[in-house]
A and B are shown apart, each in its own frame.
Chain A
């Protein structure tokens, strides 16, 4: 296999280091010092340390959002049968109202899907001055009177923290008064450096206030939770269907198309598989400590990755019937997928892609692109930590800075009654002896090529430079970058909203994605960007065409129209 290199638009090789320097050139000294730690030339064998999960530099055009977005928007918002009340001025609730495509289908027709509702205390000046606790309590009462929900989740926005409203006290009071679970989340936007802080806060709250509330017997021994899967574009449904075919039962998907009871009974599963490591690894850890549920990382994005993940689940349970069924399913799904994959690959092979998104997708989707012969020249996360880049092995070496210290680390102990290790130490040792790994995530960089470029929290300027220097064939990003990228003539695939397409998970989803990338890279629209008069500015050529065309229109020659056009094309 030939050595990987990044090529410029003119086809010359450029080192990742040179590309990085090109990007940094414009920055003031202090900004440059910070950014250079977040941009690296990759070495999968000896992963360099990346400056991830650090503060965004003010004035830099960043992709990042806030803690509230990570807590309400990502982790909790998708629970569709509870009421979500945002405590603050109207904006935060408004922007997180159906703007993420975490699709949901209520269990019974006629059940209320609360994702269709945006609820807020709509704080006015008076509450900012005199405090908003009373209004929040009243809002909970009004929500209960109108909807009689199973539970209410309350989310703090920036000013709430500053004026000192105690949302947890209000939540406790309302729990007693209304007789339902009301829980507060202190996810003010300024906490932490990105959405990531919000994920952690949400994990803590869900674990404390919901997980373990509903005990139930699982009749299927192969009962699992899929953690960190949010059902964007219906992905969770594809995964669910696939697992069901294999005989595996999904107790709870955190938190794609999930209901309150599923969250509360998630501790009854026998295994946690983790999709988005960044947003939910805390939950996996805490559930293992308290309930004895083992976890490992999977990826159902990409055919090869999906097959690998299924096999690992099979190996974990170690049941021959299950393992055989998994192999049958993989064979059948691969057989259906292969012709599509082959056909698309004939057009996409060798094309280059760059991915800058989220906390796991920029890694997961590299598998899908590699299924169709496309190569990742550059990638990075929006809000991930070092372990998502370099692997969990670096966890003990990550320095906890002031911003991370603000986020509570809850102390978890084994549940005196319900702690039940799903595997004995001997079983675990036997699995590990065969190369099986638990609590594993190797991170993005180990899978990327040597000398590819890793960029954490990419800025607008760096994105523009990347396009100017190497013009990848596809860039995966989000809505804020999409139209910049496309103005520059590069198709952009949004990996937050999937551009309102999908599902892309599992084998069936992979087929959708292959076809979508085929569409994006072969659409005629990019060929129309340069008008004909700029493609061949010679005046004479178009005159010849003009003449020939004019002649075609004369009646005696009209029969020869197609023929006479040919020489004109040559001219």
Chain B
């Protein structure tokens, strides 16, 4: 397995091998699914839409609906106006969404299709029914990563829709980041306990985690409503989780509607969740209820109980930058040693931030933005680690190097339930500890000499 990978690293300037990222449009599609009644639309060849829907479906095991402009050679030459206009007419006639959220692809970006003009023309021609919303974002695949695409779609949604009436509401905006529906539910649960009225954008809970009851609705109950997105301009503050996925949208809202923005990291792990709760406390001027402190104390209790199994363990972490940053912080909280820290998404901020987090941890880590899993594997071959944390694409390295893999982030394609259990909040932190400790102990139980195989540990 991965027999072509040798320990010695060489400089590569052109060849990406085993990426730790994918392209912008899939992130935009995912973000658009977090708008209520929204049909994401991929403006390009139909392969893009097909690949994105397939991959999101493999992770969420839920219907993922999106349409495409189905470009052919003719549209590639003459532009996508006709295709997008026809698409809009068909989408509203057949599927009748409240919102169509268009994202571009590398093809339509290179052609240079002017989406707002096409939308306007379609509206003028009556192809977009009265009262329906059409928004767009530019997601050139040759810039950034899927996280950039996600951020672009959230930012554009705000740009198109958020309004300020001048009457500030009692609601707090939360831009939660590129999270699973279970994470969104957990954030909403925490906000509920804190007694804070909130608007989350995007909100894929109730869209990509629906039950099986014999019915199918193309536009399920979940998702942030257009009405709520509009009123985000009147909220008293915004908390944005994640530099790469969420901060741009909060900045947009601050500039557009003067809503004060708090820039946080993902509420994953102890410190991340503490900062989130504390920020909500400060913005909403509330006292923290006992229930939250009890939850937190249970996590601390677990950290104390199991500290011995995690302390000093070396870890390779790969994935999306906001997730990796938050996870690195949590590993430091647990006195573990992040040894290799990689994201495929480009951005110098990543390396700076990881260096800050690791500064006093005693961990001498190799950190890389715009990196890939091939190089990560080479480093592991040079000096192994105790655990790998990342998405399913790390499973080959984990198997061939006999290192447990903690599945974390997007996408998880080979296990069924990760999407259902949050990694955010104190609850999520407990689950992460559970997975890490079990992985360490399972390996020990499987491999230790018989005299060290113990019943109680």
Q: Tell me the A residues contacting B by CB distance below 8 Å.
A: 26-28, 30-31, 55-69, 85, 88-97, 99, 106, 110-114, 116-125, 127-128, 135-139, 141-143, 145-147, 157-159, 161-163, 188-194, 402-403, 406, 460-461, 464, 478-480, 482-484, 486-489, 529-530
**B16 near A120 (CB under 8 angstroms)?**
yes
**A480 near B106 (CB under 8 angstroms)?**
no
Q: Name the segment of B52-60, B178-186, B280-288, B290-298 touching the other chain.
A: B52-60
Q: Name the segment of B68-76, B247-255, B303-311 touching the other chain.
A: B68-76
A sample of 26 cross-chain residue pairs with beta-carbon separation below 8 angstroms, ordered by A number, consists of: A58-B69, A58-B84, A59-B86, A60-B70, A60-B94, A61-B67, A65-B50, A66-B45, A92-B23, A92-B51, A117-B17, A118-B16, A121-B14, A122-B19, A145-B10, A146-B6, A158-B44, A158-B105, A190-B71, A190-B72, A190-B73, A190-B76, A461-B95, A482-B57, A487-B210, A529-B214
Q: Name the segment of B135-143, B348-356, B427-435 touching the other chain.
A: B135-143
Cβ distance A543 to chain B, nearest Cβ, rounded Å: 25
B121-132 near A? 1/0 per residue, CB < 8 Å: 000000000000
**B87 near A403 (CB under 8 angstroms)?**
no
State whether the Cβ of B26 lies closer than 8 Å to any Cβ in chain A. Answer: yes
State whether the Cβ of B88 lies closer than 8 Å to any Cβ in chain A. Answer: yes
Q: Roughly how many angstroms separate A27 CA and B94 CA in the complex, as a whole number?
A: 6
State whether the Cβ of B438 lies closer than 8 Å to any Cβ in chain A. Answer: no
Q: Known contacts A119-B15, A124-B143; is A483 also within 8 Å of B4 by CB? A: no
B210-252 near A? 1/0 per residue, CB < 8 Å: 1011111000000000000000000000000000000000000
Cβ distance A300 to chain B, nearest Cβ, rounded Å: 26
Cβ distance B392 to chain A, nearest Cβ, rounded Å: 9
Identify which of B26, B61, B106, B212 gathers the most chain A CB atoms within 10 Å of its CB: B106
Q: Which residues of B contact A487 (CB under 8 A)?
A: 63, 210, 212-216
Cβ distance B378 to chain A, nearest Cβ, rounded Å: 10
Considering only CB atoms, which chain B residue lies closest to A61 in the complex? Answer: B67
Q: Roughly how many angstroms separate A66 CA and B70 CA in the complex, as a whole number?
A: 9
State whether the Cβ of B3 lies closer than 8 Å to any Cβ in chain A. Answer: yes
Q: Which residues of B contact A56 (CB under 8 A)?
A: 46, 68, 70
Considering only CB atoms, which chain B residue lies closest to A191 in the complex? Answer: B73
Cβ distance A469 to chain B, nearest Cβ, rounded Å: 14
Cβ distance A533 to chain B, nearest Cβ, rounded Å: 13
Extra inter-chain contacts (6) besides given A59-B87, A162-B107, CB under 8 Å: A59-B86, A60-B90, A89-B23, A91-B23, A94-B22, A480-B64
Q: Tell me the B residues contacting A by CB distance below 8 Å.
A: 1-4, 6, 10, 12-19, 21-23, 25-26, 41, 44-48, 50-55, 57-58, 61-76, 83-84, 86-91, 93-95, 105-107, 109-111, 140-143, 145, 210, 212-216, 344, 374, 393, 396
Q: Which residues of B contact A486 (CB under 8 A)?
A: 212
**B57 near A135 (CB under 8 angstroms)?**
no
Q: Which residues of A contact B55 (CB under 8 A)?
A: 95, 99
Q: Which residues of B contact A161 (CB under 8 A)?
A: 76
**B216 near A484 (CB under 8 angstroms)?**
yes
Q: Which residues of A contact B26 (CB under 8 A)?
A: 91
Q: Which residues of B contact A488 (CB under 8 A)?
A: 214-216
**A58 near B15 (CB under 8 angstroms)?**
no
Cβ distance B372 to chain A, nearest Cβ, rounded Å: 9
Q: Known contacts A58-B70, A119-B15; is A65 also within 8 Å of B51 by CB? A: yes
**B3 near A69 (CB under 8 angstroms)?**
no
**A483 near B142 (CB under 8 angstroms)?**
no
Identify which of A67, A158, A489 gathers the most chain B CB atoms within 10 Å of its CB: A158
Q: Which residues of B contact A137 (CB under 8 A)?
A: 14
**B4 near A117 (CB under 8 angstroms)?**
yes
**A90 near B83 (CB under 8 angstroms)?**
no
Cβ distance B163 to chain A, nearest Cβ, rounded Å: 29
**A58 near B68 (CB under 8 angstroms)?**
yes
* Partner of A28 from B13, B16, B90 at Cβ < 8 Å: B90
**B23 near A90 (CB under 8 angstroms)?**
yes
Q: Roughly how many angstroms separate A118 CA and B86 CA in the complex, as a whole number?
A: 36
* Partner of A125 from B65, B71, B143, B210 at Cβ < 8 Å: B143
Q: Which residues of A contact B83 (CB under 8 A)?
A: 58
Cβ distance B279 to chain A, nearest Cβ, rounded Å: 34
Q: Which residues of A contact B12 (CB under 8 A)?
A: 142
**B10 near A55 (CB under 8 angstroms)?**
no
Q: Roughly how many angstroms separate A565 CA and B52 CA in the complex, as a whole number?
A: 52
Q: Which 4 A-B pairs have the closest CB atoms?
A: A66-B47, A91-B23, A59-B90, A59-B87
Q: Which residues of B contact A138 (CB under 8 A)?
A: 13-15
Q: Roughly how many angstroms separate A530 CA and B215 CA in the complex, as a whole number?
A: 10
**B17 near A118 (CB under 8 angstroms)?**
yes
Q: Roughly how many angstroms separate A147 CA and B6 CA in the complex, as a whole number?
A: 9
Considering only CB atoms, which chain A residue lies closest to B74 in the complex? Answer: A402
**A62 near B90 (CB under 8 angstroms)?**
no
* Partner of A403 from B17, B72, B142, B344 at Cβ < 8 Å: B72
Cβ distance A392 to chain B, nearest Cβ, rounded Å: 26
Q: Which residues of A contact B396 (CB under 8 A)?
A: 116
Q: Which residues of B contact A482 (CB under 8 A)?
A: 57
Q: Which residues of A contact B106 (CB under 8 A)?
A: 88-89, 91, 128, 157-159
**A483 near B94 (CB under 8 angstroms)?**
no
Q: Which residues of B contact A141 (CB under 8 A)?
A: 14
